[in-house]
Amino acid sequence: MQRRWALGECWLWCERTAVPVLWLGPALWEGGNAPIHACSWCIRHLESRVRGVLTRGADPAPAPGRRRWAPGACWLWCQRIALPTLLLGTVEHAGHQVPLYGCDACIQRLEDKVRAALPYVPVS
């Protein structure tokens, strides 16, 4: 996979457009998959979350195929904890497989982004 910075839209917390973003990996759910791009600020934010998970001794990489709701922390915009979350996909960063969990409301929001972006996602 090519990892290079390109100008684009950050799909994580800051939601800025026309910033240098890096492709992190596909998020998968019913209906397809979406490339997750994030800017350097959000990647640092993600890294600090990953470090937190690793420090607590939790397994940051659940078995692939976990497609059910389980109580956890939402890693997306609301960042609430102890609510039903679904594994969206796994992104790779700095040698770690990082699971992205989202709550229902945040998944809806991501899906809206995906739908808006789909005509512009290059087929490669």
Which chain residues interact with Zn ion by CB under 5 A? 10, 14, 39, 42, 74, 76, 78, 103, 106
Selection from 14, 8, 6, 9 nearest residue 76 by Cα: 14
The nearest distance, CB 82 to Zn ion, in angstroms, is: 12
- Which of 63, 82 has the CB closer to Zn ion? 82
Q: Which residue has the tokens 């470090």?
A: 51
Of the candidates 82, 79, 124, the residue with the CA atom closest to the CA atom of residue 106: 79
Quote the tokens at residue 3.
Answer: 């990892």
Q: Looking at beta carbons only, is 100 or 106 nearer to Zn ion? A: 106
Q: Provide, rounded to whole angstroms, the least separation between the CB of residue 78 and Zn ion.
A: 3
Residue carrying the six token digits 């890096």: 22
Q: Rounded to the nearest whole angstrom, what is the least distance from the CB of residue 90 to Zn ion in the complex?
A: 18
